[in-house]
Amino acid sequence: MGLLARIRKEWFIIGIVAVILSAKLQPSLGVRGGPLKPEITIAYVAVSVIFFNSGLSLKTE
């Protein structure tokens, strides 16, 4: 199995590791009042996306 095929297969784990490393290197992005505004994005945007995604998976019957 080539490297590219392995990366395509394990994309989720690689993404998790990349996000953890970026949070370790630049923790100021996720602090309260920081540029990502976690007090807004987590409370409203993330919850809305989760419910919207759950609604899309419902059967239409």
Query: Do residues 35 and 18 share a domain?
Result: no
Query: Do residues 22 and 36 share a domain?
Result: no
Domain range for 44 is 31-61
Query: Do residues 25 and 35 share a domain?
Result: no
Query: Do residues 23 and 37 share a domain?
Result: no
pLDDT for 1 beyond 80: no
Query: Do residues 2 and 17 share a domain?
Result: yes
Query: Do residues 24 and 38 share a domain?
Result: no
pLDDT band at 34 (very low <50, low <70, confident <90, very high): confident
When pLDDT is averaged across residues 33-40 and rounded to a whole number, the result is 86
Is the distance from CB of 14 to CB of 8 less than 8 angstroms? Answer: no
